[in-house]
Structure 1
Amino acid sequence: MTHETGQPAAVQDPHPAVVVQKRDFIDRVIAATGARRTDARPIIEATLAQLGSVLSAGQTLAIPPLGRARINLEKDARGGDVITLRLRRRPAPNETDA
């Protein structure tokens, strides 16, 4: 889609990011699954650790419904790696009806 000027149309206006902290993320997963906190927490933490390991190794993730995440840029900065990802997601079934 392009504007009359021939410039590509913006997908969405930029907006401030809402940060979801680990504690809130775990609470959301527990609420969505109905699992007990003592059972779910170690599994969620291990999953997050594996996601971090795979991305640090420079590998591409293909995990539906999250999508396909590949490293776009990686820099070694003071205090740790800075990894810029490109995440491609398929639209949810109800989004394609619009």
Structure 2
Amino acid sequence: MPLTAAPLSGLPDPHVATVVPKRDFVDRVVAATGARRAEARPIIEATLDQLGQILSAGQTLAVPPLGRARINLERDARGGDVITLRLRRRASSTAPILVEKP
């Protein structure tokens, strides 16, 4: 009888990713900060643009509580560049983010 690894109960399959669309991402940021969507959206767009530019330039990005991200592998594909990142996070990075309103 061949041996097979039994999945650990309660843990998600690491090969199945849940995709969070940008609209949902913006909604989560708006809910977490209490900012108006019209105010938050351009800031989020600019932030995402800068993240992409920094990583595309091959620079390491150190942004707590996200962690330290660096390019692990980069290759050209027909649709554009494929960049594989390595993200190192602290073990206690699940703490809630508190935002103080003025």
Aligned equivalents of 1:94 and 1:83: distance in 2? Answer: 25
- Residue 44 of structure 1 aligns to a residue whose secondary structure is helix
Q: Relative to structure 1, is the Cα distance of residues 39 and 74 closer, same or farther in structure 2, using a 3 angstrom cutoff?
A: same
Task: Quote the RMSD (CA, aligned, Å).
Answer: 1.8
Structure 1 stretches lacking a partner, 5+ long:
1-11
Greater relative contact order (CA < 8 Å, ≥ 6 in sequence) = 2
Report the CA distance shift for 1:31/1:94 in structure 2 as closer, same or farther (over 3 A): closer
- The one-letter code matched in structure 2 to 1:81 is D
Paired letter, 2:91: P
What one-letter code is carried by the residue in structure 2 that aligns with 1:41? R
Give the C-alpha shift of residue 91 in structure 1.
1.3
Distance 2:84 2:58 in 1: 11
1:16 partner amino acid:
V
In the TM superposition, structure 1's runs of 4+ consecutive aligned residues that sit over 3 Å from their partners are: none
**Cα distance, 1:20 vs structure 2:** 0.3
Q: Gaps spanning 5+ residues in structure 2: where?
A: 1-10, 96-102
TM-score under structure 2 length normalisation: 0.76
CA offsets per residue over residues 27-82 of structure 1, 9 Å max, x none? 00000000001100000000000000001111110000000000000001111100
Q: TM-score, normalised by structure 1?
A: 0.79
CA contact (8 A) 2:59 2:70 kept: yes
Percent of residue pairs bearing the same amino acid type: 79
Match of 1:8 in 2: none
